[in-house]
């Protein structure tokens, strides 16, 4: 009877693992690669629990050993799933940051082009003013025409 409970627990863990990984992927908490891995592991656990040929070893376990084995396995699966979720979040954040950097670089290039065009316009206006000043009369040290008084 204990082996039936262990088989049921393994099957339930497989179904739970498949459902949780699918839901986590739909909320974009884990990446596709990790979702596929966890779905395959969940399917393996489900088949291990359901197909009697794969679960013959559960009959050889003592009742306490089977419970301990199931608890340790559940803790291990939970921790590994949590670790893959954290790694997936880091990967997703890295992609998002790369997109932001690309957008900022693009914006920076546009600003530099605008600055360059404004610099050219200012330089052209400055040259025009110099030509007007040189062509219309002498200027003093203040940059004004001689007829005006400095100061």
pLDDT per residue rounded down to tens, the chain (151 residues) = 577 888 888 899 999 999 999 999 999 889 999 999 999 999 999 998 898 887 887 777 777 787 888 889 889 999 999 999 999 999 999 999 999 999 999 999 999 999 999 999 999 999 988 888 887 655 555 555 555 455 4
What pLDDT score does 136 carry?
A: 60
Cβ–Cβ < 8 Å for 109, 118: no
Instruction: Let me know: does 6 contact 57? Beta carbons within 8 Å.
Output: no
pLDDT at 132: 85
Residue 141's pLDDT is 54
| DSSP sequence for 74-122 | HHHHHHHHHHHHHHHHHHHHHHHHHHHHHHHHHHHHHHHHHHHHHHHHH
> What percent of the chain has a predicted confidence (pLDDT) above 70?
88
Alpha carbons 46 and 57: distance in angstroms, whole number: 15
CA distance 136 to 131: 8
Please give the pLDDT value at position 15: 96
Compute the radius of gyration of the chain from its Cα atoms: 37
Whole-model pTM?
Answer: 0.66
Tokens encoding 114: 């605008």
Max Cα distance, the chain (Å): 115
- Rounded distance between C-alpha atoms, residue 134 and residue 25, angstroms: 73
pLDDT value, residue 91: 93
What does the pLDDT read at residue 53?
85
Whole-number mean pLDDT of the chain? Answer: 86
């Amino acid at each position: 009877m204990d082996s039936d409970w262990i088989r049921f627990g393994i099957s339930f863990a497989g179904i739970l693992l498949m459902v949780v990984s699918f839901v986590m992927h739909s909320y974009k908490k884990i990446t596709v690669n990790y979702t596929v891995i966890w779905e395959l592991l969940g399917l393996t656990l489900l088949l291990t629990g359901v197909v009697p040929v794969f679960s013959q070893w559960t009959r050889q376990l003592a009742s306490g050993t089977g419970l301990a084995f199931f608890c340790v396995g559940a803790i291990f699966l939970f921790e590994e799933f949590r670790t893959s979720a954290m790694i997936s979040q880091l990967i997703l954040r890295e992609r998002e940051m790369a997109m932001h950097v690309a957008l900022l670089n693009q914006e920076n290039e546009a600003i530099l082009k605008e600055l360059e065009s404004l610099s050219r316009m200012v330089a052209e206006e400055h040259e025009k003013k110099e030509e007007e000043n040189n062509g219309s009369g002498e200027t003093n040290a203040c940059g004004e025409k001689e007829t005006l008084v400095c100061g």
